[in-house]
Each structure stands twice: as C-alpha cells, then as structure tokens.
Chains A and B, each alone.
Chain A
Amino acid sequence: MSPSTEGEILTVRGLSKEYGNRFTTGNVRALDDVSFGLKRGEICGLVGPNGAGKSTLIKLILGIEPRNGGEIEIDEGGGSAVIGYVPERPTYFEDLSAFYNLLYVARLLDVPDAEAASSKMLEDFGLKDRGDDIVRTFSKGMKQRLAIARALIHSPKLLVMDEPFSGLDPTVMMELRGYLKGLKGTGIAVIVSSHELNEIDQICDSILFIKSGKIIKKEDFEREGGVVSLQLTIDNPGKAIMGALAGHRIVSVSPDGGTIVIETPREDVPSILTAVVGAGGQVMESKILQRRAEDMYADVFMKKEGKV
C-alpha cells in the first residue's frame, strides 16, 4: 500500500494503541489518534518525555505490536525489506563474529550476495579488521556501529532508531553523528527517537513532539521556502546600511543598530552581504540563526506547563 501523500515514505493516520484488555483494569492508552508523514530523505527526531509513547510508536511502525486503530502506510509494500531498525539496546549473537551477525540478517532479508554485502558494511563502518572477532569483545561504540550497519545492510528506505545516543561517550556520539549526517542525500528517511536535543539539532531536518500518546506538533528546522533568519553584526551602523537592506524583511535591530536580524530566502544571503559591504558596512559577524531543538522543546512542553 503506498502513501497517499506524494514523496512520503511513511504516512501514519489516526494511529492508536491501548495496552490491556476487557479482563484487566487500568488499561493504558499508549497512542491516541497519531498522524504524521515522513518524506523521502527526511531525518526526523522523535522527542517527548518518558512514557510519551515513542517506543510504542516505533513498535507499531515496525509491526511488532498490533495496533488498535488507524493506518500505517509505508512506501513499496512495507515489511522488513523497506525498514531498518536500530533498537535502544542492540543485541547480537555475542559468541558469533561480527561478520556472521551481519550475514545472518542479510540472508534472512534476501540481500543479493550476502557475504559481499556484509564485508562491505564492515568496511563502511570501520569494522573491517574486527569482522572475524566475536561481538562479545566489542566496545559499546563498535556495537552501535555494527547495529547501524546491520540495519542498513538491505538498503532500507526507512531507518528507525530508538535512543541511538543513549549511554554513549562524546567520542562515539560524534562518530555516530557523522554516520547519520552521511545518510543525508542518500534518500533514506530516518526517525530518531532521542532525548539528546543537541544531537537532534545537528542531524535532524524536523522534530516530531509527542506527549501522553498524542502528537503535539511536527516542526521543521528550516521554514518553508528555505527562509532563514540572518543576523549581521556591523561595526559602523548607519542609514546607508539600512538603505542597503531596504526591500528585505528586518525582524529586529539592536538599540545601537549594530545587530540586525533579517528574514530572507537562503539564496539571497550572499547578495545581502554584498549590498551591506558595498554600502560601506563593516560586517564583524554574520550567522544564520536556527531555532534550536531545546527552544522548540521548551515552547512545546515547558511554556505550556508554566515551567519557563
């Protein structure tokens, strides 16, 4: 079944999940009318407080838990051939080699030339020299890399990652971030469930906020039409500078005029800088302001609760 929205690899409509049955009390409504879409190549962070329903949503997308209502449409038939999964705590056949752990999954998923694909994955993820070593001897970072390699071995269209940064040291986090950034442009859509907002900032194109089983909102890091907020710090503010910026939407100006924030299409940034410099402005700093995940999280969860 293909998603109804063009370009979407994953469409979720009215999804609901309740734990418990008619014989038990205190049934928990883990998901309630959840709807969202994920485009091809989009990396989306799934963020919410503990118990929000993130893991339940992931299990339903993977099909390992039955849903009580709603639809999940995944492009090109769905099933494990399309989805790759990195669980929160990756598990392996610890007494078997890294190569065999990959080979087993590759064979199960009918990957052509499974041996060659497994070798290539080990190489791509810097595990070539450890391919014949048993997984029990691997460090946490190596196991995480192996988990991603295993999830990608069959070239999925959708990668689902549950708390991939949990318990990792900064070095491994940076490595993992690098691998995930490397997925941009490959066309693989990624859902990353994580509490690490800093990492979400650096790798995600959008954030999906979930709380108490409901989707609060889905927000893109970059606004529609590629509009960005450009902040200029100018050493010699004046009317000439302001004149150069006429025709652009000025969001704010500091009292001394030295810091100006302009909202403009990304492709106009070079011409704006040229115009300001041409008008005699001494640009000390220019940067594109982006709403950070922490700001979004605070807006969604903490301002509403009066905590900020």
Chain B
Amino acid sequence: MNELVVHLKKDLKMISSDSIFLISMLVLVVMAFIMAFESSWSYVDGSFGYYSTLTTRYIIERKQVSTLDEYWIGLCNLYTILLTMISSMLLTSEKESGMMSYILTLRTHKWRFFLSKFAIVLGVSTLIAVVSMLAYLIVFSAMDVPFLGVNDVLASMLLPFLTILIFSAIGLAVSALVRKKGAAIALSVVVWLVISLGYATLTSMGESAAFDDPDYDYGTDEWIDFVPLGYKLLIYANPMVLVNGQGDYLDMTGGAILGVCMVIAYMGLGLALFARERTEQGVIKDLLKKVKGMSHKDGEQR
C-alpha cells in the first residue's frame, strides 16, 4: 500500500475517534446555522438602507449577494481561529504522545507524513465550506424568496474556502514548530490575532492615508487607487484580504490566484519546518538553546 495512503488512513481513523475533533466539527456546523439564521433575519429586516423602496429582481439579487457576503465574512472570522487551533494539534498530538519519533525510526518519508496531514486539513476545510453553504441554502430555502443561481452560490464559496484552508495550513505550520498541544493552541491564537488585527489596522491606516492624499477627489476618484503601495502589499500578504477585501482590494479571479499562492506558501512553510524534525524538541526550543549557547559564549569571551 502506498505510504501516503497508509498515513492518510491512519489519520482519518484517528480524527474519527477523537471526540474533541468531532465536537469541534459539530460546533462549527451549529455556528453555520446560527449565522445563516442571523443573515436571514438581516435580509428580511431590510437593513440595507442604500437600496430604494422600489423592489426589483436586480435589487433582490444584490441584497442576496450582500447577505451571502456578510454570511461568509461573519463565518470566516469564527472559522479561521477555530480551524487554526484545530490544525495546530494535528502534528503536536503525535509529537506529544511520542509516536512521531517512533514513526520516524521506520524511515518513512517526512514529506508524505506531512502531506497526509495536509490532506486531512484540505478535507476538513472542504467539508466545513460545503456544510456552511448547505446551512445557508437550507435556511433560505425555507424563506420562499427568489434565489441566486447555482454558479453565483458556488462562486461565493471559493474565497472563503481558500481563507479557511490558508488558516488551516497556518495551524499546521504552527504544529510543526512546537511539541506540546497547549503551546500549539496558544501560538495559533497569537498568530491569528496578529493576522486579524494586523489586517484591520493596515486597512484602516491605508484608507486614512488614501483619504488624506491631497490628490484624492472624493467625488470622482476611487480611494483604493490612493492607498500607498506599502500598505497595499502588506494587505495583499494578509490572508484576511480574501474574504474581507472582496470588491475593494480584490476581485474573484485575483482573489483565487492569491489564495492558491498563499495555500502553497503556507503548506511549503509547514513542510520546511517539519523537515527539521529530528529530535523530539520543537524548532523554537532548538533556537532558544542555540541563542543561549551563543550568549554564554559571548559572556565567556568578555
């Protein structure tokens, strides 16, 4: 049997017998339905004040697109932190138990071992995106309103799915860094906070800089064109831009390309970090030991 398939079967068996994972998935599903109901209430409430009192099919569709976008933004803000945390436990659970050390004595290919974990991450992300979409469709189908076409619905799912996948890959990279589950969860939360708050700060500062630009004309110019390049680059490097930056910073095609590049980049980062797996200590502890050794050497020389 192919080594990758052996690892994958084992990983599937492990997560299906892990009660914490199953409960987490259930929580995510429940959250999807809650957010769907929340979105349906917003839709019915008619809180999109910029629409006119005249109702046309176009307006209904625009309203549904807005509702769908708000639904995904709300969900992704919750999903990204949860999935980063869950993914960060994928490698650390085996490191903590000592099984990873044993498996590596069997001269398995590290990249296949890691790829199996990534396949799990990909599967879980896909499942969550599909379930979330189904939750929305189920709730809105009960409302008996004209609905968007299948293509529009599926297209709305693409960037949120990539965002979820990117954060799962980030969680997996965190998992390759540390040895303990607790440390992995804590680090994944910190990383999420840095990314999330960083995005909010950068966009706010970028927009302020654009509006403060003396050449910007509020009536005729698009403010996005006046956001300084430095801010734009940092914003595009932040995974949150895929969901939160749609329309302003990204279109669908650009977002998809950027998303796929980010997935590959973070997967590569995780693989590179995991490739260093040689002892039972994580990379951070290894680095700290080296730094301590260097400072001790400096102290001696003085």
Contacts and interface: CB of A to CB of B under 8 A. Distances in A.
Interface string B271-302: 00000001100000000011001101100100
Contacts of B98: 87, 89, 91
A299 interface: no
A66 B104 CA distance: 13
Given A62-B105, A108-B108, A24 B13 contact: no
- How many of chain A's residues touch chain B, expressed as a range? 20 to 34
A1 interface: no
Given A25-B300, A64-B105, A91-B99, A107 B6 contact: yes
Interface string A48-59: 000000000000
Nearest to B290: A23
Interface string B78-115: 00000000000000000001110111111110000000
A215 B293 CA distance: 29
Given A23-B293, A104-B6, 17 more contacts: A23-B294, A24-B289, A25-B293, A25-B300, A65-B279, A89-B98, A91-B97, A91-B101, A93-B10, A93-B14, A93-B97, A93-B99, A95-B14, A105-B106, A109-B106, A110-B1, A114-B1
Interchain residue pairs A-B with the least CB separation, the first 10: A24-B293, A91-B98, A80-B107, A107-B6, A80-B106, A25-B297, A91-B99, A107-B1, A95-B17, A62-B105
A236 to B, nearest CB: 61
Contact of A20 (B1, B106, B293): B293
Nearest to B10: A104
B107 A79 contact: yes
Nearest to B19: A95
B144 interface: no
A63 B107 contact: yes
A96 B293 contact: no
B88 to A, nearest CB: 19
B3 interface: yes
A288 B227 CA distance: 93
Nearest to A63: B107
A63 B108 CA distance: 12
A179 interface: no
Given A96-B14, A104-B10, A25 B102 contact: no
Contacts, number: 74
Interface residues of B, number: 28
A100 interface: yes
A85 interface: yes
B18 A95 contact: yes
B18 A108 contact: no
A109 B108 CA distance: 9
A79 B107 CA distance: 7
Interface string A75-99: 0000110000101011111111000
A247 to B, nearest CB: 54
Nearest to A92: B99
A66 B276 CA distance: 13
Nearest to B100: A91
Contacts of B279: 65
B14 A108 contact: no
A20 B98 CA distance: 23
Contacts of A96: 10, 13-14, 17
Contacts of B296: 24-26
B18 A24 contact: no
17 contacts: A20-B293, A23-B294, A24-B290, A24-B293, A24-B294, A25-B297, A65-B279, A79-B107, A80-B106, A93-B10, A93-B97, A94-B97, A95-B14, A96-B13, A100-B13, A104-B6, A110-B1
B107 A91 contact: no
Nearest to B113: A108
A104 B113 CA distance: 13
A104 B297 CA distance: 46
B297 A23 contact: yes
